[in-house]
Amino acid sequence: MVDIPEHLLLRTAEARAKALGISVEQALAEMKGQSEPTIISKEPDAQLLEETAVQEAEVPKSEPDVEKPKEEPAAEKTESEVITPIKEEHAAETPQKVAAVTIEEKPAAKAPAPAPEKPAAQAPAAKVSAPPAAAAKNGAPEEVDFAPEVKVTQRLLTVVKAKPIQKPVAEPVDKVNTWPHLMLPEFVSLMAMTAFLILLSAILQAPLLEEANPNVTPNPAKAPWYFLGLQELLSYWDPQIAGVMIPLVLGVVLWMAFPYIDRNPETNPSKRKFAIMFYTFFLAGAGVLTIIGVLFRGPGWNWTYPWIDGIWFDDLLDWIHFE
Amino acid sequence: MQKLSLRDKIKEARISAADSFRGGKLMSSIFRPGSPFRKGYVDSPRNRSYVVMNNVLYHLHPVKVKRHGVRLSYTLCLGGLSFFLFIVLTITGIWLMFYFRPTELAYVDIQNLQTSIAFGSLVRNMHRWGAHLMVLVVFLHMSRVFYHGAYKAPREFNWVIGVILLLLTLLLSFTGYLLPWDQLAIWAVTVGGNMAGYTPVIGAQAKFGLFAGLEATTATLLRFYVLHVLFLPFIIVIFMAVHFWRVRKDGGISGPL
Ligand code: HEM
């Protein structure tokens, strides 16, 4: 048998002494088998035994009950390809794994757990510890009727919730193999893009006007299309007054900082209506300004109608002059 | 024993020759285990993993990705297409460099390219339309990211890198715009440079730095050329590498919504 450390032994002895109303030395001696045990109870309590047994039998049963419904949906959606990290879900959801912590009383002590006379009344308390003291208060006769064969050696002391050794951090995610599920679509869209680009290049000639001449200013002089919205905007106010680069740089910096400004963690569109509206307005504004710049601006940056006055947009020269 | 027809014999010989080639030293030295180009490849989950894992592709893709992320309707493949367009532009751009001198001869070079060099016109068109397309696709990619709220934690910083990528894309496009050295090029760039000139306080200096002078000249051409073919691509590749790396480190594609 394992040697019990002295301090534990002492503590047990103290508890026992208190319970039985004997001195600590006496209890210690009894536990070490150096003295005859003090016997209080009349008989080993059958019901206590039963209850303990029932408790232990019942508890494990409840475990799969709680767990099953949780596991099934996951099992449904996950096909063979899904990684389920080593029982993560299992560990996370395990409700109460109940461990019965038992105290083994040394047979050497030959002291059965004293049982009360009226088990029914004592039953709840019995789970925690046998209440001999209470029994004594109840006036239980200190009858010595002890059958060594029927020893109560185990009691349910406490219920401990099991904790997984590895703490799961992430929920299992529904994943598929990159090859072929991602790489094939990628390959297809890449081929489609190539085909589109070659086709476009075959039918639409890139513009090449006369050689650069600093002395001949075309009218209008337009920026590349992605800056035309900006050029249009700047035509509304004197750029000297508005300043150009500073607002632009500020805008870019603010745009970069956007994720730090928008602290709403929601990604659901219905819960970030403002952000969506904001960007949609931005898109619409930029789109309208660009279209105006491309199609509706002619010589002197004056308003023109493409269907009346024609289009001043040399990027698409080949297309505009297509007959 | 059944007698084989000549046709079967040839077929058998062909298969065994192909097998011994695919199983040979050369092929196994080129393709790492699990490659579909090796002998005995079978479509198994293990090999599907190896295709990525034992391959240079592992630098770009993880072995597995979220199921919802591979739906074309989620990313619309826009980020991937931005990257792909960049590659197309690099290839066609290098090709164009063989025929282009960033001097007074630039315009003539482009003319010659279009008229007397095989596929010259096609490649120039591809480079030009590809550049426009890339600006558009990057912009659309940004919009898709915004609408998905994909810039939210932990992806805030990748958005910052994204905005830098957008700026670099625009700068690449803008510097390239000058290179044909025609009226469209020089005046579009003049308009852009003049905007920079309106910068408060340092306007004149900004314009001077951009033009390498007071106005667009061949000095500007050389400056834009070096930026366009060397400096900006170099920088954008670095930022793209960080961008892709962050996509993976931030837990792959965001969502599902
Ligand atoms: C040269 C330009 C760019 C390239 C090549 C590029 C490439 C990519 C790729 C391949 C992805 C993977 C997911 C997808 O395809 O959507 C991605 C994701 C992302 N990109 Fe970009 N991108 C570029 C520009 C930008 C810009 C301008 C922004 C925003 C301002 C941005 C922000 C992001 C963010 C936040 C993600 C993560 C999205 C998610 O997890 O759903 N990128 N990018």
Q: What are phi and psi of A105, to 5 degrees?
A: -90, 135
**B140 CB burial (10 A radius; 0-12, 13-18, 19+):** middle
Instruction: Choose, out of B152, B211, B243, the residue to mutate when testing the contact with A (most A CBs < 10 Å).
Output: B152
d(CA B135, CA B123): 18
pLDDT at B108 over 50: yes
Q: Examine the domain organization and report whether B210 and B97 are in the same domain.
A: yes
Higher pLDDT, B230 or A165: B230
**Residue B255 lies inside a defined structural domain of this protein:** no
Q: Examine the domain organization and report whether B160 and B218 are in the same domain.
A: yes
**Token code pair at residue B45:** 């989950």
CB contact under 8 A, B186 and A208: no
Q: Are the CB atoms for B92 and B158 separated by under 8 Å?
A: no
ipTM for this prediction: 0.89
Q: Examine the domain organization and report whether B103 and B206 are in the same domain.
A: yes
Instruction: Choose, out of A84, A182, A316, the residue to mutate when testing the contact with B (most B CBs < 10 Å).
Output: A182
**Residue B69 lies inside a defined structural domain of this protein:** no
Q: Examine the domain organization and report whether B98 and B18 are in the same domain.
A: no
Domain(s) of CATH 1.10.287: residues in chain A:
217-321
Q: Which of A37-46, A63-72, A304-313, B165-174 has the lowest mean pLDDT?
A: A63-72
Closest to A282 in 3D by CA, of A240, A233, A225? A233
**Residue B11 lies inside a defined structural domain of this protein:** yes
pLDDT at A14 over 60: yes
> How far A220 CA lies from chain B's nearest CA (Å)?
10
The pLDDT value given to residue A147: 58
Q: Which of A263-272, A285-294, A309-318 has the lowest mean pLDDT?
A: A309-318
d(CA B211, CA B217): 7
Instruction: Choose, out of A76, A173, A178, the residue to mutate when testing the contact with B (most B CBs < 10 Å).
Output: A178
Q: Examine the domain organization and report whether B30 and B89 are in the same domain.
A: no
Q: Examine the domain organization and report whether B215 and B88 are in the same domain.
A: yes
pLDDT at A111 over 60: no
**Residue B42 lies inside a defined structural domain of this protein:** no
**Residue B41 lies inside a defined structural domain of this protein:** no
**Residue B68 lies inside a defined structural domain of this protein:** no
pLDDT digits (tens, 9 = 90+) for B65-78: 888 887 777 888 89
Tell me the Cα Rg of chain A: 43
The pLDDT value given to residue A105: 46
The pLDDT value given to residue A63: 42
The vertex-A147 CA angle with A145 and A151, nearest 5°, equals 120
**Residue B31 lies inside a defined structural domain of this protein:** yes
The pLDDT value given to residue A136: 46
Please state at what angle helix B156-178 crosses helix B183-197, rounded to 10 degrees. 130
Q: Are the CB atoms for A301 and A222 separated by under 8 Å?
A: no
The parent domain of residue B11 ranges over 1-35
Q: Which residues of B touch A231 (CB under 8 A)?
A: 191, 195
Q: Name the band, by pLDDT with cuts 50, 70 and 90, for residue A4.
A: confident
Q: Examine the domain organization and report whether B84 and B186 are in the same domain.
A: yes
B232 lines ligand 1 (CB under 6 A): no
The answer to whether B205 contacts chain A (CB < 8 Å) is no
Closest residue of chain B to A205, computed from CA coordinates: B125
- 3-state SS of chain A? CCCCCHHHHHHHHHHHHHHHCCCHHHHHHHHCCCCCCCCCCCCCCHHHHHHHHHHHHHHHHHHHHHHHHHHHHHHHHCCCCCCCCCCHHHHHHCCCCCEECCCCCCHHHCCCCCCCCCHHHHHHHHHHCCCHHHHHHCCCCCCCCCCCCCCCCCCCCCEECCCCCCCCCCCCCCEEEHHHHCHHHHHHHHHHHHHHHHHHHHHCCCCCCCECCCCCCCCCCCCCHHHHHHHHHHCCCCHHHHCCHHHHHHHHHHHHCHHHHCCCCCCCHHHCHHHHHHHHHHHHHHHHHHHHHHHCECHHHCECCHHHHCCCCHHHHHHHCCC
Q: Are the CB atoms for B194 and B207 separated by under 8 Å?
A: yes
CATH number for the region A217-321 comes to 1.10.287
Q: Do the strands A99-100 and A175-177 form a parallel or antiparallel pair, or are they unpaired?
A: unpaired
CB contact under 8 A, A222 and B61: no
d(CA B141, CA A95): 44
The number of distinct structural domains making up chain B is 2
Mean pLDDT, chain B, as a whole number? Answer: 91
B235 lines ligand 1 (CB under 6 A): no
Interface A:B, Cβ pairs < 8 A: 210
pLDDT digits (tens, 9 = 90+) for B25-78: 888 888 888 888 888 788 888 888 888 888 888 888 888 888 888 777 788 889
Q: Could you tell me the pTM of the whole model?
A: 0.71
A-proximal residues of B, 39-78, CB under 8 Å: 45, 48-49, 51-52, 57, 61-70, 72, 77
Q: Name the band, by pLDDT with cuts 50, 70 and 90, for residue B252.
A: confident
Q: Examine the domain organization and report whether B189 and B106 are in the same domain.
A: yes
CB contact under 8 A, A224 and B173: yes
Ligand 1 centroid, distance to A155 Cα (angstroms): 63
Higher pLDDT, B217 or B196: B217
**Residue B65 lies inside a defined structural domain of this protein:** no
